[in-house]
Amino acid sequence: MKFESRGCAENRMIKYCQKVFLVGIVTFLLPCITCVAQIRYQLVDLGDLPGGTEQSFGYGINNIGDVVGESNVTGGVRGFLWSVGNSLTDVGDLPGGDNFSTARGINNSGTVVGRSSQGTNTHAFVWDNVNGMQDIGDFAGGVDSSSASDINELGQVAGHGFPTNSSRAFLWDSINGMQDLGVLSGQSSSLGNALNDSGIVVGSSGNRGFVWDAVNGMQDLGDLPGGTDVSVAFDINNSNQVVGASNNADGRVAIIWDEVSGLVSLGQLPNGNGWAEARGINDLGQVVGYSRLSGGSFNGFIWDTENGMQNLNGLVEAIPSGWFVEFTSAINESGQIVGTARDQNGVRHAILLNPVPEPNSFVFIAMATMGMIMVRRQHHHKFS
């Protein structure tokens, strides 16, 4: 039989205590890491394009933090691209346009989609800083009109066009062109609002939200009990979670949907007044949108499973006097939020909300790090 020395036994005991200490630290920090989700934000005013009425709206964001939207200009409205360190870039309009465009989506390659005037109608476009704005056309033989809403990392585009006098959701790419996604049973029109990197498209067909994929076609998302048979889907993440809105006994409420749980109400903000919509979701399941309050104004919100629905106006640090976050449209994987705020004069500004972790979370992490250092030092001195 072998017997270990007293030094070896002490060494093993200290290693065991280290493990217990680490488990304790992790157990202690997990709630604190969750607390980091209760983030505050710094508001960045993205400004506006020269001319016009100094008014702008933010619609889309990629994971780099580039933002797209639209801004009033002299005699019209133009889509813009904003990136850190640069002022707004006017994406222009299509040949024959009348000084109108709007930018709605952007992928991580910096390709922008939206719609622009072109002759007497509007056409969907893709734009990048090398090729500029390119018309992706419309349905052959239909009404001369189309609009693009979103673009994924494969360069696929979701939107709608008019093969007849009724709109049809489409999926477009540079090889296959514009694919008509059809309509739900009993409906006569559809709109494509967003898509994920698997090419799954969401939107609305008539008064019902849908999710479409190449295998199953267009599926009805249903609606909430007690409502008026209404729903709409506005965004989808890469886990196939869908967000939008539906009606129930409380009016129009924000919703989230997945294949397991079906349609679930996210409700409205406290003091809500019968109208809320979830407009964006990231792959972490964080949801943004807006909710109407009893006074009639809309306020932007963020929702997650830990904190529920929170009014972003209570989370923004040093917001300018008289300003409030009115609408939020999209959120990226870093938690940056794009939307629109109103100033004290009622003028709307495209904004970016940058997350700022709670200071306490850094304190907890620092405490854990110091604890580890102390344990290692004690171990070193014991056996040196």
**What is the reported pLDDT for 51?**
84
How far apart (Å, rounded) are the C-alpha atoms in residues 361 and 380? 29
What are the C-alpha distances in Å from 361 to residues 40, 285, 358, 370, 371? Answer: 12, 21, 6, 14, 15
Query: 28 — phi, psi (to 5°)?
Result: -70, -40
Q: How many residues does the chain have?
A: 384
**What is the reported pLDDT for 222?**
95
**Inter-residue contact 94 to 117 (CB < 8 Å):** yes
Question: What are the CB-based long-range contacts (under 8 Å, 24+) for 71-76?
Answer: 71/350, 72/48, 73/49, 73/99, 74/50, 75/51, 75/99, 76/52, 76/100
Residues with pLDDT less than 50, the chain:
1-4, 8-9, 17, 19-20, 22-23, 25-27, 29-37, 360-365, 368, 372-373, 375-384
- The identity of residue 276, as a single letter, is A
pLDDT 10s digits, 220-267: 999 999 888 999 999 999 999 999 999 999 999 999 999 999 999 999
**Inter-residue contact 152 to 195 (CB < 8 Å):** yes
How far apart (Å, rounded) are the C-alpha atoms in residues 69 and 63? 16
**What is the reported pLDDT for 233?**
98
How far apart (Å, rounded) are the C-alpha atoms in residues 21 and 25? 6
For the whole model, what pTM was predicted? 0.85
What are the C-alpha distances in Å from 289 to residues 310, 341, 362? Answer: 10, 13, 29
Matching residue, tokens 């052959």: 140
How far apart (Å, rounded) are the C-alpha atoms in residues 147 and 105? 11
How far apart (Å, rounded) are the C-alpha atoms in residues 332 and 315? 18
**Inter-residue contact 269 to 309 (CB < 8 Å):** yes
Q: Which of 382, 328, 378 is nearest to 43 (CA)?
A: 328
Ramachandran sector of residue 308 (left: φ over 0; alpha: ψ -120 to 50; beta: rest): left
**Apex CA 362: angle with CA 361 and CA 366, to 5°?**
120
How far apart (Å, rounded) are the C-alpha atoms in residues 280 and 237? 9
**What is the reported pLDDT for 313?**
97
**Inter-residue contact 335 to 38 (CB < 8 Å):** no
For β-strands 324-331 and 337-342, DSSP reports them as antiparallel
What are the C-alpha distances in Å from 261 to residues 258, 264, 265, 315, 376? Answer: 6, 7, 11, 30, 47
